[in-house]
């Protein structure tokens, strides 16, 4: 098998396989990188670089859904550019806020695109099950980035485990996951009105996602199993 044939097979495989599983795995790896390297300046550069790769996977996932690709491109360009600039110039005080803003918007659009992908038919595939998990993490990351925007533009909006110190992105991501899943551990809490409004919106998103999308997938899975037994 020559190189051209291998390239054709790989391209055909990528066209068939939905990238939601790869995106979910990359996001989980990014969590581990935050836990291991967030306090190290060199490690933060590694995190930012891997974050760019995750954004590429997000874009790949979006263009494989029924969403409008032109909108995805418009949102992806500033998200890619500002994330890359944040990795190159980590000491710039304005880049993190703008980078998080565009990343958050891009993640929300990607989550909506994944929901459209899951709702476009009446069957449940393995890809759609991965997409369900990926969508949850996209919402969590999107709100965490918006929390970072609020903290950057309005310092003191969140109070963390170390009072008087800015809450790290990992802590904001932890808050986002606990809030979206209705766990609510309470060790990080909003101190400003806009922060509280964002948390309420995320709670509404989490409840709505489980009630509408996840319950639909579970219902269709049960119907398929019953039809097989009949």
Alpha-carbon span 136 to 145, nearest angstrom: 14
CB–CB of 187/161 below 8 Å? yes
Segment 133-142, tens digit of pLDDT = 899 999 999 9
The answer, yes or no, to whether residue 105 has pLDDT greater than 90, is yes
Domain ranges of the chain: 3-229
CB–CB of 92/193 below 8 Å? no
Segment 22-60, tens digit of pLDDT = 888 999 999 999 888 877 777 777 888 888 889 888 988
| CATH fold label, 3-229 | Helix Hairpins (1.10.287)
Cα torsion 77, 79, 82, 83 to 10°: value is -130
Q: Given the structure tokens 């996840």, which residue do they identify?
A: 214
Alpha-carbon span 230 to 152, nearest angstrom: 58
For 190, phi and psi rounded to 5 degrees?
-80, 140
| Helices (H) then strands (E): counts for the chain | 9, 2
Segment 155-195, tens digit of pLDDT = 989 998 777 788 889 999 999 999 998 887 778 889 999 99
Q: Looking at 8-12, 105-109, 179-183, which range is the least confident one?
A: 8-12
Choose the most confident range, by mean pLDDT, from 2-16, 18-32, 131-145. Answer: 131-145
Nearest to 131 by CA among 74, 195, 80, 58: 58
């Amino acid at each position: 098998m020559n190189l051209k044939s291998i390239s054709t097979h790989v391209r055909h495989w990528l066209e068939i396989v939905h990238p939601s599983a790869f995106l979910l795995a990359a996001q989980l790896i990014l969590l581990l990188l935050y836990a291991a390297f967030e306090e190290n300046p060199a490690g933060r550069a590694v995190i930012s670089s891997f974050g760019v790769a995750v954004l590429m996977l997000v874009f790949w996932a979006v263009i494989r859904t029924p969403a409008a690709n032109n909108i995805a491109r418009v949102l992806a360009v500033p998200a890619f550019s500002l994330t890359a600039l944040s990795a190159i110039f980590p000491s710039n005080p304005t880049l993190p806020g703008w980078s998080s803003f565009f990343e958050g918007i891009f993640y929300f659009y990607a989550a909506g695109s994944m929901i459209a992908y899951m709702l476009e038919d009446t069957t449940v595939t393995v890809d759609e099950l991965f997409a369900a998990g990926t969508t949850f993490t996209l919402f969590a990351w999107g709100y965490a980035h918006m929390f970072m925007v609020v903290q950057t533009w309005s310092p003191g909006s969140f109070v963390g485990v170390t009072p008087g110190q800015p809450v790290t992105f990992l802590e904001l991501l932890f808050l986002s996951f606990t809030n979206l899943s209705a766990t609510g551990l309470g060790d990080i809490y909003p101190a400003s009105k806009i922060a509280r409004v964002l948390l309420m919106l995320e709670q509404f998103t989490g409840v709505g996602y489980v009630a509408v999308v996840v319950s639909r997938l579970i219902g269709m899975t049960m119907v398929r199993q019953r039809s097989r037994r009949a």
